Structures are given as C-alpha cells and as structure tokens.
C-alpha cells in the first residue's frame, strides 16, 4: 500500500475495523474535517481499496475477466460433406469466448471472479449471463445492448473432426468502447488481476493498458488469434503477463516470412523487449516458452489423450492465473496451466465439467518433471 498517504491509511484501517462507520464518526476518531475524510474515501475508491457505497472491502485475491462472451455452435458431419446441398450433422451448443471460459474455469476453482463483457438483449445473452451467475461469478458489470445480438460462432467439422468452415458474428464487441472504462473503473481498480482478451476493440485495450499505469492491479492479456493480435499496440508496456501462441507472436512482431519466423523462446524474449513484463508463448503439443526478468525457459506440454481441443488455450491461461493468484511465480505456475489445458482436451466441453481444486490437484502427477 505504498500509494497511500498516512491519513488515507488511517481512514482505510478504521473502515476495515468497522465498514459501517459514517464519515463524521471517522472524522471525529481521527481528528479530521468531515470533508477531508470524504475526499480520502473518494481517493480510496479510485485506487480500488474500497468498492464504494457501504465501504465494502475487496477480496484480497480478486480476478476480473474482460472480453468475449459467445454462443458456440458445432456441427459434426456424419458423412463426407457435399457442397451446395443439405448435409446431415450432429449439432451441439455451448457457451464460449476466451474471457468467459477463463472466468468459468477460475470460478470452478474457487476464485473470486467478476466477468465484464457485452451481450445482446436476447435469450442467448440472458442464458449466458445466468449460467455464470449460477456458478458464482459476479456478472453485475456485463453490459446489455439492443444494438446487436449476442455474439455467435459456428463451426462445421468433417467426419474426421477437422474444421471445414467457421463463421462468426462478433461485431457486438466493437460497442464496448473506452468510455465504458469510466463505469467499470472502481470495479477494476479493486482487483488483484485483470484479464482481457483481444476480442475487445483496439482502442479499449490500449486505453486499459495506459490507464492501468499507477493502479495496483496487474494486467494479463490474451491475443486470441493472429488477426486480433494486431489490436495490441507496438509498445506493450502495461501488460504484466502476455499469453499468445507462436503464430500470433510472430504476427505481433511483424514476421510473415516462414524462413524468418522466431522460435517460441525467441518470440517470448522479443515480446518482453517490446514492453510486456512476462510472456508465455504456446505451441500446442510442442510445449511452451516462459520469459520473465530471470530469463526464458522452454517447457514441455502435458501428454494428452485429446477428444476435443476447444478451450485448451483458455484453460492454459486459467490454470496459470489460478496459481499466480496463490502467489506462485509465472514460471512455476505455468505447468498447472499446461495440465488444465490437457485435462480440458480430454473432455467434450470447452471447460471441463468436473473441474475443481481437488480434480486439478489429482492430476498433478502428470506434469513432466
């Protein structure tokens, strides 16, 4: 709490001891004017040490996830596809989106999670929000709009489970402009970590990175895809932990020539040189690189018996952040992320339906030594 003055600290200590104390009571106890106490309380709200009305103190390990909330549809062809005619398929629906999946993973692991996104004023949006709320996530900051429907993604897969065609309606996320940060800011400022995915507009991500400077929360970012990775500014200062894969990392670095592509370790180091404090670069079953101020390491993935790889990257993020919230360094936390990624691929869901702290711990023997 180095950013607090002595009077601010004294006000915070009294509120922690008695959250129902009035401003005049605090002023009398500290020998200050009530107007001075009021000013300190506004400052404490802006810095995230209290949450506003009622002087609610934030959880010491609070996570906020900002980004995609999507209805995913998958259609598995029963026979080789024939174009320009109707094909029999098996259809599945589930909720997805990188930030939404990360939020669900973390809330299933017992983390205090708030989810921030935008959905349409439709039954899909209401069901998506209700599902997270019923699991225990705070969804009070989700925006509902009548301008666009809730985001959807549809995938058509052939009998071998290979993607033939993917279509997406994600325009709703363009409505979550930097102006919304003013509404969210006291909520964000109270967090230990904020995670944002690159489904958000470039201007919103940039504004969050800039405004985060001087705040007490740490910022994690996922690039989502190669095209969406280009939403990040060249200067990555403000990102405490960047998650990306090898293709996306090379895209950020402006490398398109296959002969000049950087390895995972090289890309991780280059992204740190761009300003990101710590970086994880993944490459599926080929492992991942972790770059910190202490150097860069190449780590092995956890061997898997995959059923469906959907959500593996989101699980990698979730497992890593879960351990980071418990105080582990990123390079120590990342293997848990790799484990959760593997466990997720061994289920048919983008978030493992049996996920819990005990379930995750039970699989730790699988992490390569």
HEC string of the chain equals CCCCCHHHHHHHHHHHHCCCCCHHHHHHHHCCCHHHHHHHHHHHHHCCCCCCCCCCCCCCCEEEEECCCEEEEEEEECCCCCCCCCCCEEEEEEEECHHHHHHHHHHHCCCEEEEECEEECCHHHHHHHHHHHHHCCECCCCEEECCCCCEEEEEEECCCCCEEEEEEECHHHHHCCCCHHHHHHHHHHCCCEEEEECCCCHHHHHHHHHHHCCCCCEEEEECCCHHHHCCCCCCCCCCCEEEEEHHHHHHHCCCCCHHHCCCHHHHHHHHHHCCCCEEEEECHHHCEEEEECCEEEEECCCCCCCCCCCCHHHHHHHHHHHHHHCCCCHHHHHHHHHHHHHHHHCCCCCCCCCCCHHHHHHCHHHCCC
What's the mean pLDDT in 44-62? 65
pLDDT-derived band at 2 (thresholds 50, 70, 90) equals low
The pLDDT value recorded for residue 268 is 98
Token representation of residue 82: 């024939």
pLDDT at 167 over 60: yes
The pLDDT value recorded for residue 52 is 56
Instruction: Using DSSP bridges, classify how beta strands 193-197 and 163-169 pair: parallel, antiparallel or unpaired.
Output: unpaired
pLDDT tens-digit readout, 208-265: 999 988 788 999 999 999 999 999 999 999 999 999 999 999 999 999 999 999 999 9
Record: fold of 62-70+95-159+166-366: 3.40.1190
What's the mean pLDDT in 358-363? 95
What's the mean pLDDT in 159-171? 88
pLDDT tens-digit readout, 304-313: 998 888 899 9
The pLDDT value recorded for residue 307 is 85
The pLDDT value recorded for residue 17 is 67
36 or 90: which leads in pLDDT: 90
Q: Which range (156-160, 176-180, 225-229, 326-330) has the least confidence?
A: 156-160
What's the mean pLDDT in 58-79? 88
pLDDT at 54 over 60: no
Q: Which range (38-47, 78-87, 145-154) has the least confidence?
A: 38-47
pLDDT tens-digit readout, 271-300: 999 999 999 999 998 999 999 999 999 999
Q: Looking at the domain covering 6-46, what would its CATH class be?
A: mainly alpha
For the question of whether the overall pTM of this predicted structure is more than 0.85, the answer is no
pLDDT-derived band at 201 (thresholds 50, 70, 90) equals very high
What's the mean pLDDT in 6-12? 82
The pLDDT value recorded for residue 35 is 80
- Domain residue ranges in the chain: 6-46, 62-70+95-159+166-366
196 or 20: which leads in pLDDT: 196
């Amino acid at each position: 709490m180095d950013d607090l003055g002595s009077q601010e600290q004294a006000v915070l200590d009294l509120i922690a001891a008695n959250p129902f104390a009035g401003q005049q009571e605090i002023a009398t106890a500290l020998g200050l004017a009530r107007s001075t106490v009021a000013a300190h309380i506004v400052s404490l709200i802006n810095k995230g040490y209290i949450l506003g009305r009622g002087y609610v103190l934030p959880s010491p390990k609070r996570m906020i996830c900002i980004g995609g909330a999507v209805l995913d549809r998958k259609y598995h062809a029963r026979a080789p596809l024939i174009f320009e005619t109707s094909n029999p398929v098996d259809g599945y629906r589930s909720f997805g989106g990188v930030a939404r999946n990360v939020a669900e993973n973390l809330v299933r692991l017992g983390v205090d999670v708030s989810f921030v996104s935008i959905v349409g004023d439709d039954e899909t949006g209401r069901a998506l929000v209700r599902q997270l709320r019923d699991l225990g996530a705070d969804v009070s900051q989700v925006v509902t709009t009548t301008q666009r429907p809730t985001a959807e993604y549809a995938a058509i897969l052939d009998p071998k489970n290979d993607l033939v065609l993917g279509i997406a309606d994600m325009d709703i996320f363009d409505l979550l402009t930097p102006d919304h940060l003013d509404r969210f800011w006291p909520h964000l400022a109270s967090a230990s970590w904020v995670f944002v995915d690159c489904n958000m507009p470039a201007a919103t991500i940039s504004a969050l990175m800039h405004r985060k400077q001087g705040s007490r929360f740490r910022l994690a970012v996922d690039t989502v895809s190669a095209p969406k990775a280009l939403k990040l500014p060249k200067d990555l200062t403000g990102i405490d932990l960047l998650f990306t894969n090898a293709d996306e990392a090379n895209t950020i670095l402006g490398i398109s020539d296959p002969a000049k592509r950087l390895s995972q370790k090289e890309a991780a180091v280059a992204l740190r040189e761009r300003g990101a404090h710590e970086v994880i670069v993944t490459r599926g079953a080929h492992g991942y690189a972790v770059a910190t101020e202490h150097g860069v390491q190449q780590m092995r993935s956890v061997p898997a018996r995959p059923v469906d790889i959907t959500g593996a990257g989101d699980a990698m993020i979730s497992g890593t952040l879960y351990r980071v919230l418990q105080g582990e360094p990123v390079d120590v936390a990342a293997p848990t992320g790799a484990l959760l990624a593997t466990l997720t691929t061994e289920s048919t869901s983008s978030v493992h339906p049996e996920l819990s702290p005990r379930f995750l711990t039970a699989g730790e023997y699988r992490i390569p030594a």
